[in-house]
Amino acid sequence: MESLETLALAVPVRDNIIPEAMANAVRNRAQGLEGEPELAGLISAAQQGDQSAIEKLYHRFKTPVFNLAYRYTRDGAAAEDILQDVFIKVFTHIDDITSAATFPAWVYRVAINASLSHLRTRNRHRMVPLAAIEGRLEEASYDADTSHLRKPLEDAVGTLSERLRSVFLLHDVQGFKHEEIAGILGCSTGTSKSYLFKARMRIRKRLKIKAIEDSSC
């Protein structure tokens, strides 16, 4: 059976290595970021009030936006509310879009901001454990022998700052490139790489501490 120490070592510190437990999640990466040619046409039509184009844009991004919101909230109903709020804002400001290339990054930035805002509001009004409101690796793959590692890993990710957690989830869970993350979060590529390195190191440290605590019990 895999141990916490083994899991800690599996968390990479280099950009070209992704933990095996997250491989399936990376394959499920959102498809709207590839910038297919028809995206510009859909945006243009939506700006003209074309309901069919609006529906196509919604269906194109709704699943990855919902998944992202769910990872932060761990609450299906809350993620659904965030999904609706995100697209209300997206279609309210669709006329402001001048480039199809930046549209997906903007949608994800709106989703992240909405998710974080929801968490802050819920944290102010409800006394719940930190782990119950922080981000999780919902789509990470675990078999029966490694299911006992799920909570320590989720808890470790949950202790990261908003910025570090966002970069870690976007890169290691959803499979975005640093250039894409920079566009989503409004930071430089170098900053994204730096945040990912810090996030991975802190996760490894937390898992090692947990392993030591468990071994002493």
CB atoms within 10 A of CB 93: 11
Report the CATH architecture of 32-138: Orthogonal Bundle (1.10)
Domain ranges of the chain: 1-28+143-217, 32-138
Fold: same for 1-28+143-217 and 32-138: no
Q: How confident is the model at residue 188 (pLDDT cuts 50, 70, 90)?
A: very high
Cα 77–Cα 161–Cα 104 angle in degrees, nearest 5: 60
Domain 1-28+143-217 fold is Arc Repressor Mutant, subunit A (1.10.10)
pLDDT of 9-47, one tens digit each?
Answer: 555 554 443 444 344 443 344 344 344 678 999 999 999
Higher pLDDT residue, 155 or 98?
A: 98
Higher pLDDT residue, 112 or 146?
A: 112
Among 57-66, 76-85, 132-141, the range scoring the smallest mean pLDDT is 132-141
Q: Confirm if 133 and 73 have CB atoms less than 8 A apart.
A: yes
pTM of the model: 0.63
Residues in the chain: 217
Mean of the pLDDT values across residues 90-112? Answer: 92
User: Across the chain, what does the average pLDDT equal?
Assistant: 76
Give the separation between CA 8 and CA 59, rounded to whole angstroms: 37
- 132 three-class SS: helix
Question: Who contacts 72 (Cβ-Cβ below 8 Å, separation ≥6)?
Answer: 112, 115, 116, 118, 119, 134, 135
Mean of the pLDDT values across residues 66-88? Answer: 90
pLDDT of 151-186, one tens digit each?
Answer: 777 788 888 898 999 999 888 877 888 998 998 898
Give the separation between CA 9 and CA 181, rounded to whole angstroms: 25
